[in-house]
Structure 1
Amino acid sequence: MELNQQERVSYSPLMKSFTFNAYLVAGYTPISRASQLDFYINRPGGMKGYILHMTLRGEGRIKAGNRYIASRINDLFLFPPGVAHHYGRAENSDHWDHLWIYFHPRPYWLDWLRWDRQEDNIGITSLNDPALSAHIQDSFWEVIQQNASNDLLSEALAMNALERLIISSFKLQPVSNHQNLDPRISTLCHYITEHIVEDLTIEHLAEQVFLSPSRLAHLFKDEMHQTIFSWREKQRVNRARNLLQSTHLTIGQVSQAVGYEDPLYFSRIFKHHIGVSPRQYKKRYEQMISI
């Protein structure tokens, strides 16, 4: 759903005010350094409904408990009712443009609002596939546009679009959406992503889930349809893509940040998965957002 910046801004707090005394409210918030919208939202008691965020440009800073988490391009954040809201533009970023939807779910949606990764009850999902990211973004815009429309049945259409968005997001949760996944494998996946920079051995990983190395290797392949280290390599590349989009780190710094000491080796791995070098990827992305 292609919208130019002027069309996008028409759905932002710059052009209209929002009231949350409704079952569905949605909009687009473009934040630039020192701009009118450059301030932190602080709702210590949260809200009565859920709120779903998607970052389009730059980086946000979201407080979860006693620490802050970065919200980078194509990151989704889900705040349940009563969970504190404290977020704004990250100081190291000139922008934080994001889409958001505030809603009261239909009762049968509740099972779909359980996300695998949570930080102090805030759900977090990163979108690493460009086609999927575009699909999710289109769903956001459909909700936002229908919510702003005065046409007959626009409210029902907005809720239907939101339902599809919630289902699409839930399908991205490998544990919640696939209850048959062995809990030892989901634990291991979380452990690997938390230690993505470390050069973990199969023996060390096996100790984390109390299995022999050979048993772990077979179980992981059966559950995930790939080897442990193939899966880890994809997670490293996905994290590298996010860093190339959202930071000013050099290729060498990105390489080290995702666990590769040799930038040349990292570049070969990256190109194998993405089709272009890290430098070309960053250049193409910068050209895209400057249009």
Structure 2
Amino acid sequence: MPNLINSPRIISAGRAQHDRHSPNRVRRPHGFPSWLLEYTSGGEADLYVTNGIVKARQHSLFLYLPGTRQTYENNNEAGIWSHNWVSFQPRSDWLNWLDWPPIDAGVVMLDHLALDTSNHVKSCFDDLVKVFHGPLPQREPLAMSLLEQLLLWCDSANPNSGSQRFDTRIQRSMAFICERYREPLTLESIAVAVGISPSRLAHLFPQEVGITPMRYLEQHRIEMARQRLAATSDSISDIAERVGYGSASYFSKVFRNVQGCTPRESRKRALMV
């Protein structure tokens, strides 16, 4: 039986260059359901925040939390904006590494990275994109490993490093969900497992993770199903049951809502890679 990854994942990643002839103007009023990390290796971008414009200059990174409005574009006056980006769902033990200085609600930034640190970040980013889009059978766990290295380099330059902004109970609840996702979990059962009231969990979890505990559970179940569809020949009904859904039709509906395609289409795409 294949060893399926019991963790969140990278959703998309890439490299790009933009100038006045190929502008990159992003207007996402509701953001992404995942985290979005951007690294500037050349030029700069303008981030539109509540109090004006923040410059994302060379050797800087900015990070949007899930559900945060995203409004940014390349700054034509600064030449070509060269940048790497990755959209991902973090592992629970990464959360403290993502406690960067805020520039707006749901937007954080690391600016003025030392050249050596910036070079390491760029190297990890370049390798991540190459591996993620490559042919290796283990490309997804390898890409996650490179993202982890990247975030560790970022943490070495983070002025907030060592702080514990993220509640350990939220980290434990994420780990509990990832471990017990096959079971019929409820907000109450998760709260009891980590020693917090359901109302407090319902308040803190989206505040720190960006989505509700039950949405996190749903996304994790669907990710486990997606990996099993790609790695096994199990029937869709068997996979639905294995990831915690009693109804194959309901599982297919949720899968489509999360992934944008049916389980069968997801399996077909995996076979084409």
Q: Is the 8 A contact 2:40 2:83 kept in 1?
A: yes
The residue matched to 1:46 in structure 2 has which SS? Answer: coil
Q: Does residue 32 in structure 1 map to residue 22 in structure 2?
A: no
Which residue, out of 167, 175, 179, partners 2:160? 175
Which runs of 5 or more structure 2 residues have no equivalent in the other structure? 1-8, 165-273
Q: Is the 8 A contact 2:10 2:140 kept in 1?
A: no
Which residue, out of 105, 130, 134, partners 2:90? 105
Alignment-mate amino acid for residue 56 of structure 2: S
Q: Percent identity?
A: 28
- Aligned partners of 1:178, 1:111: CA distance in 2, in Å? 7
Q: Is the 8 A contact 1:52 1:101 kept in 2?
A: yes
Q: Is the 8 A contact 1:56 1:74 kept in 2?
A: yes
Which residue, out of 107, 111, 118, partners 2:103? 118
Q: Does residue 46 in structure 1 map to residue 31 in structure 2?
A: yes
Q: Is the 8 A contact 2:56 2:111 kept in 1?
A: no
Deviation at 1:91, TM superposition (A): 3.8
Alignment-mate amino acid for residue 81 of structure 1: P
Deviation at 1:119, TM superposition (A): 2.6
Q: Is the 8 A contact 1:58 1:97 kept in 2?
A: yes
- After superposition, the Cα gap between the structure-2 partners of 1:152 and 1:74, relative to the gap in structure 1 and judged at 3 Å, is same
Q: Which has the higher contact order (CA 8 A, sep 6+)?
A: 2
- After superposition, the Cα gap between the structure-2 partners of 1:107 and 1:178, relative to the gap in structure 1 and judged at 3 Å, is closer
- After superposition, the Cα gap between the structure-2 partners of 1:58 and 1:47, relative to the gap in structure 1 and judged at 3 Å, is same
The residue matched to 2:160 in structure 1 has which SS? Answer: helix
The residue matched to 1:51 in structure 2 has which SS? Answer: strand
Which residue, out of 114, 124, 139, partners 1:129? 114
- 2:70 paired residue number: 85
Q: Is the 8 A contact 1:23 1:103 kept in 2?
A: yes
The residue matched to 1:135 in structure 2 has which SS? Answer: helix
Which residue, out of 140, 143, 152, partners 2:137? 152
- Aligned partners of 1:28, 1:171: CA distance in 2, in Å? 23
Two-structure CA RMSD over aligned residues (Å): 1.8
Q: How does 1:216-235 map to 2 (within 5 A)?
A: none
Alignment-mate amino acid for residue 26 of structure 1: A
- After superposition, the Cα gap between the structure-2 partners of 1:135 and 1:127, relative to the gap in structure 1 and judged at 3 Å, is farther
- After superposition, the Cα gap between the structure-2 partners of 1:114 and 1:87, relative to the gap in structure 1 and judged at 3 Å, is same
- Normalising by the residue count of structure 1, what TM-score does the alignment of the two structures yield? 0.50
Q: How does 1:1-291 map to 2 (within 5 A)?
A: 23-35=10-22, 38-177=23-162
Deviations 1:229-261 (A, max 9, x none): xxxxxxxxxxxxxxxxxxxxxxxxxxxxxxxxx
Deviation at 1:106, TM superposition (A): 1.5
- Normalising by the residue count of structure 2, what TM-score does the alignment of the two structures yield? 0.54
- Aligned partners of 2:128, 2:112: CA distance in 1, in Å? 19
Deviation at 1:116, TM superposition (A): 2.8
- Aligned partners of 1:88, 1:128: CA distance in 2, in Å? 21
Q: Is the 8 A contact 1:171 1:177 kept in 2?
A: no
Q: Is the 8 A contact 1:24 1:147 kept in 2?
A: no
The residue matched to 2:150 in structure 1 has which SS? Answer: helix
Q: Is the 8 A contact 1:26 1:102 kept in 2?
A: yes
Q: Is the 8 A contact 2:10 2:143 kept in 1?
A: no
- Aligned partners of 2:147, 2:41: CA distance in 1, in Å? 18
- 1:248 paired residue number: none
Deviations 1:107-159 (A, max 9, x none): 22222211134333311112442111111110111111111112111111000
Deviation at 1:73, TM superposition (A): 0.5
- 1:215 paired residue number: none
